[in-house]
Amino acid sequence: MSVDEFLRSELWSQGPGWLANSPQDWPVLIPPGVSGEELEIKTTVAVIQTPTSVHPLFLRWSSYSRLLHVVGYMLRFVTNIRTKVRTMPSSPSSPIGVALTVAEIAKAKTLLVRLAQQDGFAEEIKQLNKEKTVGKQSHIRRMSPFFDPEGVLRVGGRLNFALLPYQAKHPALLPTKHPFTRLVFEHFHRKLLHGGGRQLLTAIREEFWPPRGRRLAQTVVRNCFRCTRLNPTLYNKSANYHPSGSFQAGPSVSPE
């Protein structure tokens, strides 16, 4: 088709004539059938990908403090919006640029812990909400888990009358293989100036309780680049064989 024919084509500029009619009068297009001889057998391979059960927040940041502050500012923004909607527009609100308060950081930490628990202990949370106890097959059953007033899953234990802070008597449970737990361990490792695995686990258990946390603490310390660089492994050179002459019998003093 030439350019002049294309410009004069009503089919291109206005479409087919039946478009001007009512939709009920539009022609019904029935695709032609395909004979069995024209069919082609093709092999199709399908890949089934199981969706991850980790919240996207934990996959976006690789720093515990950074993640904590981002969530804190998000919660502040939501609070400011709700305040403006419920009250007069001139009511005071926390500006976004001001540093987070201690209460805002604690609120963000609580939210992150609850999200991590929903990812790692989904079945246990359902059982606690329904039956007030976890199943026998759960590996946290012996810890007597319970919900605190903020909805955080905590360790029960027998330290109710101990003179310890509440979070030390009943630390929050964290799934060992969750990305958030790894961020917490790495943060505490840097906070303790790259201390050893035992010191790291002791500090974390004052606030959190990850099952089988000793292995994770050793892994974090072992994979720390700075610890590896500052504590290199000495190279032990293997001893060479003695020369053959030292094993041959001979006079103690050579004759002149």
Q: Does residue 184 fall inside a structural domain?
A: yes
Q: What's the pLDDT band for 55 if we cut at 50, 70, 90?
A: confident
At a CB cut-off of 8 Å and minimum separation 6, what does 173 contact?
A: 117, 121, 140, 143, 145, 153, 154, 155, 208, 209, 210, 211
Rounded mean pLDDT of 205-215? 93
Are 155 and 167 within 8 A, CB to CB? no
Of the pLDDT bands very low, low, confident and very high (cuts 50, 70, 90), residue 50 is very low
Q: What is the largest CA-CA distance in the chain?
A: 130
DSSP state letter for 150: T
Angstrom distance (rounded) from CA 98 to CA 80: 13
CB 150 within 8 A of CB 137: no
Return the bridge partners of 153, or none. 147
Cβ-based neighbour number of residue 226 at 10 Å: 10
**pTM value?**
0.68
Number of domains in the chain: 1
Q: Is residue 125 part of a domain?
A: yes
The DSSP-derived string for 45-87 is -----PPP-S-HHHHH-S-HHHHHHHHHHHHHHHHHHHHHHHS
Q: Pick from 55, 71, 69: which is nearest to 179 by CA?
A: 55
Question: β-strand 208-209 against 153-154: which pairing, if any?
Answer: unpaired
What is the C-alpha end-to-end distance of the chain, expressed in Å? Answer: 116
- Give the separation between CA 135 and CA 131, rounded to whole angstroms: 9
The pLDDT tens digits for 17-39 are 777 777 777 787 776 766 666 56
Residue with tokens 């790291």, as numbered in its chain: 200
- On whether the CB atoms of residues 213 and 176 are closer than 8 A, the answer is yes
> What does the pLDDT average to over 202-212?
94
> What percentage of the chain carries pLDDT values higher than 90?
41
Residue 103 in any domain: the answer is no
Whether residue 246 is contained in a domain is answered as: no
Domain extent, residue 157, equals 108-230
Q: Does residue 180 belong to any structural domain of this protein?
A: yes
Question: Which amino acid is residue 216, in one-letter code?
Answer: L
What single-letter DSSP state applies at residue 172?
E
**Res 89 pLDDT > 60:** no
Three-state SS at 237: coil
In a domain, 152, yes or no: yes
In a domain, 151, yes or no: yes
Residue 59 belongs to some domain of the structure = no
Between CA 114 and CA 152 the distance in angstroms is 6
